[in-house]
Structure 1
Amino acid sequence: MVKIAVVVGSTRPGRRSKQVADWVLERAAAKGGAEYELLDVADYKLPLLDEPMPPSMGNYQHEHTKTWARAVAEFDGYIFVTAEYNHSVPGALKNALDFLYAEWNNKAAGFVSYGSAGGVRAVENLRLISGELQMADVRAQVALPFATEFEGFTTFTPSATAEENLDVLIEQIVAWSTALETIRH
């Protein structure tokens, strides 16, 4: 059975991404088809990229990078939960992605985003980044606008449409993670 990480992509105090990620994790676990686990970027306290060699060389020098690499390598696919900051991804998520290379390769990526416009511009950026990291991004996406999915911009309350969209995303991420297994091994 494939293992999928639900990646919490914001480290900001008062972040909404943990609420959203908990919802994704709960719904995915109920749906089944894979093992699911939360992977919170905040737990790794990564500094700004400080490796002297490019990640594509796989020659990690720092223990924080090695720890992050071991955590990321465990998974066959990822559902990234991201906010949209200034039409892009949170800096902490971009930094966490940039630290590694081979650990992301030949794995599936799906995106759940939130923001004033549902976070769609952050996902546009993530699709480009994931392609460079040799991840296969699935078509389904969950976009959560503050106006309709958050009470008072703080409390996450998913709509029926968001739940339906998440179900499709989960099905696609499991299918692609499974299909890419032959390439990974």
Structure 2
Amino acid sequence: MANPKIGIIISSTRPTRIADKPTQWFYDIARQRSDLDFEILDLRDYKMPFFDEVASNAWAPSQNPEVIRWQKKVGEFDGYVIITAEYNHAPTAAIKNALDNAYVEWNRKPVAYVGYGSVGAARAIEQLRMIAAELQQVSVRTSVHIQGADFFGLMQGQKTMQDMPYLNDGANNLLDDLAWWTKALKTAREN
């Protein structure tokens, strides 16, 4: 039996983003597991317009080929980890748009969060949890927050993720919770 698949979604598309650093760090920890398989999904690779379909794909098929490509890709996964920045106390417009441009593909699947920003993207993650509820996702309680001096050191190039080994336990706890929810919800969906 194949392992459940988890999509790690990079939410920032800015040319100067630091998202690649926490994404690679998290991916390196995640792929040490033998019970889940992981793939990084970079929103830069999906040139979706801001949501402009006649309705959510819960009610009407999407028409834009790039949106359909996105829906097919996210539909391949049994769960997700969103690597999120926080812009003005909120998640990025790119991740909100990516979430809005699919619906049925997210349903009854778990989602977890790794956030970075001055407060570790806590406010962005809080908003993403509300969006996930509307998308019929299950938000995993455990999150990883890269904040304060760690975030600013990372942003200014004075620190690397390897300078923050204390975050590894949080990442592993997140992955343990995500694995449990992924397996439980996959079993339920298949029955």
Answer whether contact 2:18 2:155 (CA < 8 A) is retained.
no
1:20 Cα deviation (Å)?
Answer: 1.0
Aligned mates of 1:32, 1:14 — CA distance in 2: 33
Aligned mates of 1:22, 1:171 — CA distance in 2: 19
Residue equivalent to 2:16: 14
Residue equivalent to 2:80: 78
Inter-CA distance 122–183: structure 2 relative to 1 (3 Å threshold): same
1:149 Cα deviation (Å)?
Answer: 4.3
Residue equivalent to 2:6: 4
Residue equivalent to 2:142: 140
Inter-CA distance 58–32: structure 2 relative to 1 (3 Å threshold): farther
Residue correspondences, number: 185
Inter-CA distance 114–152: structure 2 relative to 1 (3 Å threshold): closer
Per the alignment, in what secondary structure is the counterpart of residue 143 of structure 1? strand
Aligned mates of 1:37, 1:150 — CA distance in 2: 27
Inter-CA distance 146–16: structure 2 relative to 1 (3 Å threshold): farther
Aligned with residue 184 of structure 1, among 179, 185, 189: 189
1:54 Cα deviation (Å)?
Answer: 2.4
CA RMSD, 1 decimal:
1.4
Residue equivalent to 2:49: 47
Answer whether contact 1:141 1:169 (CA < 8 A) is retained.
yes
Aligned with residue 157 of structure 1, among 141, 157, 161: 161
Aligned mates of 1:131, 1:123 — CA distance in 2: 12
Aligned with residue 166 of structure 1, among 168, 171, 174: 171
Per the alignment, in what secondary structure is the counterpart of residue 74 of structure 2? helix
1:46-88 Cα shifts (integer Å, max 9, x gaps): 1111212223215111111110001000000001000000001
Aligned mates of 2:121, 2:57 — CA distance in 1: 27
Residue equivalent to 1:27: 29
TM-score, scaled relative to structure 2? 0.92
- Write 1 or 2 for the structure with the bigger share of strand: 1
1:93 Cα deviation (Å)?
Answer: 0.5
TM-score, scaled relative to structure 1? 0.95
Inter-CA distance 48–94: structure 2 relative to 1 (3 Å threshold): same
Answer whether contact 2:9 2:40 (CA < 8 A) is retained.
yes
Aligned mates of 2:169, 2:154 — CA distance in 1: 23
Aligned mates of 2:57, 2:155 — CA distance in 1: 37
Percent sequence identity over matched residues? 37
Amino acid at match of 1:43: D
Residue equivalent to 2:125: 123
1:150 Cα deviation (Å)?
Answer: 4.9
